[in-house]
Amino acid sequence: MTWWPLIKVLPQKTNLHFVKYARYAAVLSIVLCVASIVGCFVPGLNMGIDFRGGASLEVSKPAGQVIELEKVRESVAGLNLGDVGVQGIARLDTNVNDGSTAIVRFQVPEGKDQTTVVNEVEGAITAATGQVTYSGVSVVGSKVSGELFTSGLLALGCAIVLMFAYIWFRFEPQFGFGAVAGLLHDVILTFGLIVVLRLEFSLNMVAAILTVIGYSMNDTVVVFDRLRENLRKYKTMPLRDVIDLSLNETLTRTIITGVTAVLVLAALAVFGGEALRGFSIALMFGIIVGTYSSIYVGAPIILLWGVKRGELNDDAKPIKLGMASRP
Amino acid sequence: MIQLSRWKIVLLALSLVFGLLLAFPNVLSPEQRAKLPGFVPKNALNLGLDLQGGSYLLLEVDVPAMRAKRVDNLAEDVRVTMRDAGVNVNATQREEGGVVITLADPGQTETAYQALRRLVGGANQQGVVERAVTREGNGRLRFAFTQQAMDSMGASAVDQSIEVVRRRIDSLGTKEPSITRQGSNRIVVQAPGESDPAALERVIGQTAQLTFQMVDSENSVQQALAGAVPPDAVLMMDEDGVTPLLIKRRVLVSGEQLTHADVTTDQNGQTAIGFRFDGVGAQRFASATSSENIGKRFAIILDGKVISAPRINSTIPNGSGIIQGRFSIQEASEMVNLLNGGALPAPLKVEERRTVTAELGADAVQKGGISTIIGFIIIVVFMLGAYGFLFGGVSVVGLILNGLLIIAAMSLTQASLTLPGIAGLVLTFAVAVDANVLIYERMRDEARAGRSVIASMDAGFNKAMGTIIDANLTTLVAAAIMFIFGAGPVRGFAWTLTIGVFTSVFSSVLVAQVLLGYWLKVAKPKKLPIADAETVR
């Protein structure tokens, strides 16, 4: 009857001992988290203009013509604007990087009028490389960028606190700690990826991380839900076995949902164009890490704290099932 | 739960009908939509600026600058009043939205107080007394704006600015601009479509404060340049930008009295700006150009720059005239628009500007569309592969209804769909099947535990529901935070995600219940098709 292909690949009933390896996973996680945190300071995040102010111009020529990046860099650097970044990107219509499209980023010096500076830069680029079109222009003042940064961090902090409160309220404090540990883990590692790949940290990236938080919690909640249920069902089973059982029971779901999400985001990263690439990559990574953390961070931490099982048993009717004979 | 209850079928049918009805305008062209009869919903998806191209400007009203200027005027009022009352003032200090004066002779306190009392004036239209005078002892008097006046100054400055900006943008012929207030002192301007962002910024950035002031003919410019500027005058450059002029501080007529301005030509055929004053303005203008002033010059000053300083040849009684200057037609017409639009009460600073051309926007739409379709296909293949044509197919039907409902809800609420919003949409599809996966896996668990088909399906729905709600609430919380803290495109993402959470839970659960319930009734299966091979008995 099971003639459709994936059902054979996907595990139907697993009996993996996740908790046994939790110690190694913890070491790995801690090392990666520390590395990520360090990376956020040295070399540091590649802040986009959203958060540090400045301007970014998207410059393009007709297909086939080449924008001499070196000339553009020199001409803009000649204006004494400090940090100037010039980078070739893929063409918008063909998605191919043939050298005809570039992004120019620069700072607007304190006290200078943005519009004047942008006009100067546009003039310098045209002088250096000939007629070009400016398809996208963004300028963010330093005041606004500071506010955006603060509100971005505030949003991340708020999300974590609210998730903790939510889990505390819906489950038990121990679950809350486990969930938040997993959450912090995912957020920190996503920051690590942003640093390693030199992705631009922008408003969109904050949205990506918030989504990772949402997804990671989603995953954790599914595992915790089952864990709570199993704790009621198997009153005498050792906690580590209950955790293993719950992780195994939810494993197929975890895999199917995670793989769908990752595949779809991969499609977005490949076909969604330059603007969404960094965003989708961070999201994809966050989902993989989120799946891992709900298995290896969230649940084992509950083991560290222990659970008061008496309370959980209050309203539960023990159900005798064939599975109680599990090791 | 799995029984085919009538209200669920009705609910499903209704959501399908409303979804189709509300999403339908998206397949029509704008012209076709315009022809639809009134009762038919005709709102299509509202694309954000990053998808349709256009300009976004975040402007800040410089309220402190405006307050400082108002305090300047107040200090000037106090100075003149004290002089007229014959009170000697030793020192004038600025303090908290007003001035504190110290009298040379404390015996004059009462005289000064009474004079200032008259200056306080009555309440304004809102019934707020704007200014207050207080005695502070030792011959000190405070004359200041009330706290209420200071507060309302900022708020009304932003309101006025929005009005002025709207008039100016309308005069540029920009289609469907959106001008909204943000926070306490900011204005967001969104101009979709192909508009010239530079012109937009130029037109908005001008304060357009127009004043007519006399040129000081009694004092020498040379002496002023050497440092002896008379207290009632100020040095400015003439319209050519090099010749210094000494100009009286007193304003004869200001832009507020202007009723109309237009582009015209002077007697030499040069481009000039024609203007007309209201009654009060005309009177003041007439007395300024009266016989005693003939032969003298006055200066026409726009935003602190002399644009023209003509000699008075004759009295102008009717309050209309022309401003000659070296303008191009373009400059003249922009200036006319500024004058007709009115002056901004305070300077506006551009804090943030984002411009996207229409081609770039169209490209983003196309890319977003392609990735959405590819993502959709991946999910369909995956779900059919994992759960077969029946259960997988049910999820796919739920997914299609979900997509329909999202488009319908986005069209109905007219929330902007942004590029990250498309990503939110794609992600929603991926997570939408999660509810089905949770339900199906539960059913398998129950079948594994030895339950009958109906019992395991029933329990699958019942037990998975709590998990589904818990799991989706977390995404909702994240979306809510993005909506509260996020700006621009992030909000679009949050909104799409929020709609997606609701529609996906609704459609995936409801569709599965109705379709699988129908299947149970018709097929009367003996075993669960998605059960594990070894437990199928």
Q: What is the ipTM of this complex?
A: 0.82
Measured between alpha carbons, how far is A25 from B474 in angstroms, rounded to an integer? 25
Q: So what CATH class is B63-151?
A: alpha beta
Say yes or no: B437 contacts chain A, CB-CB below 8 A: yes
Residues of A in contact with B481 (CB under 8 A): 155, 158-159, 162, 210
**pLDDT of the residue at B339:** 82
Contact status, residue A245 vs residue B352, Cβ threshold 8 Å: no
Among positive and negative, which fits the CA dihedral A136, A142, A147, A151?
Answer: positive
Beta strands B233-237; B258-265: pairing state: unpaired
Work out the number of other CB atoms within 10 angstroms of the CB of residue A5.
11
| Contacts with B159 (C-beta within 8 Å, 6 or more apart), sequence order | B181
Measured between alpha carbons, how far is B146 from B100 in angstroms, rounded to an integer? 14
**pLDDT of the residue at A33:** 94
Say yes or no: B417 contacts chain A, CB-CB below 8 A: no
Could you give the angle at the alpha carbon of B373 between the alpha carbons of B400 and B190, nearest 5°? 95
**pLDDT of the residue at B124:** 64
Structure-derived torsion over alpha carbons of residues A216, A221, A224, A230, reported in degrees to the nearest 10: -140
**pLDDT of the residue at B536:** 41
> pTM for the complete prediction?
0.79
The residue of chain B with its CA nearest to that of A49 is B352
Say yes or no: B369 contacts chain A, CB-CB below 8 A: no
Q: Which fold has domain B6-53+358-523?
A: Multidrug efflux transporter AcrB transmembrane fold (1.20.1640)
Interface of B with A in 316-355 (CB under 8 A): 349-355
Residues of A in contact with B473 (CB under 8 A): 166
Is B482 in contact with A93 (Cβ distance < 8 A)? Answer: no
Contact status, residue A148 vs residue A201, Cβ threshold 8 Å: no
Is A115 in contact with B350 (Cβ distance < 8 A)? Answer: yes
C-alpha to C-alpha distances, B216 to A240, A268, B292, B304, B321, nearest whole angstrom: 93, 69, 14, 16, 22
Listed as ranges, residues in chain B with pLDDT below 70 are 1-4, 122-127, 194-195, 487-489, 532-537
Residues of A in contact with B357 (CB under 8 A): 133-136
Contact status, residue A158 vs residue A213, Cβ threshold 8 Å: no
Contact status, residue B258 vs residue B275, Cβ threshold 8 Å: yes
Say yes or no: B445 contacts chain A, CB-CB below 8 A: yes
C-alpha to C-alpha distances, B426 to A262, B47, B439, B504, nearest whole angstrom: 11, 16, 22, 12
Return the closest-CA partner of residue B349 out of B63, B71, B153: B63
- Domain B6-53+358-523 identical in fold to domain B63-151: no
Is A218 in contact with B489 (Cβ distance < 8 A)? Answer: no
Is A213 in contact with B478 (Cβ distance < 8 A)? Answer: yes
Measured between alpha carbons, how far is A139 from A145 in angstroms, rounded to an integer? 10
Measured between alpha carbons, how far is B25 from B408 in angstroms, rounded to an integer? 9
SS3 content of chain A, % helix, strand, coil (to 5): 65, 10, 25
- Best A268, A287, A319 member to test B by mutation, with max B CBs in 10 Å, is A268
In chain B, where are the structural domains located? 6-53+358-523, 63-151, 206-354
**pLDDT of the residue at B296:** 87
Tens-digit pLDDT string for chain A (327 aa): 445 555 555 666 677 788 888 888 889 999 999 999 999 998 888 888 888 888 888 888 887 788 888 888 888 888 877 778 888 887 766 777 788 888 888 888 877 777 778 888 888 888 888 888 888 888 888 888 888 888 888 888 888 888 888 888 888 887 888 888 899 999 999 999 999 999 989 888 888 888 888 888 888 888 888 888 888 888 888 888 888 888 888 888 888 888 889 999 999 888 888 778 888 999 999 999 999 998 888 777 888 777 766 554 444 444 444 443 333
Is A207 in contact with B490 (Cβ distance < 8 A)? Answer: yes
Among A6, A225, A260, select the one facing B379 at the smallest CB separation. Answer: A260
DSSP helix/strand/coil, B122: coil
Interface of B with A in 450-509 (CB under 8 A): 450, 463, 466-467, 470-475, 477-479, 481-482, 484-490, 493-494, 497
**pLDDT of the residue at B535:** 43
C-alpha R_g of chain B? 35
Is A114 in contact with B479 (Cβ distance < 8 A)? Answer: no
CATH number of this structure's domain B206-354? 3.30.1360.200
**pLDDT of the residue at A324:** 37
Helix and strand element counts for chain A (H, E): 13, 6
Structure tokens at B47: 């694309």
Query: Smallest CA–CA separation between A57 and chain B, in Å?
Result: 9
Domains for chain A: give ranges and CATH numbers.
Answer: 11-46+145-305 (1.20.1640.10), 54-140 (3.30.70.3400)
Among B197, B364, B434, select the one facing A273 at the smallest CB separation. Answer: B364
Is B205 in contact with A115 (Cβ distance < 8 A)? Answer: yes
The residue of chain A with its CA nearest to that of B475 is A214
Amino acid letter, A152: G
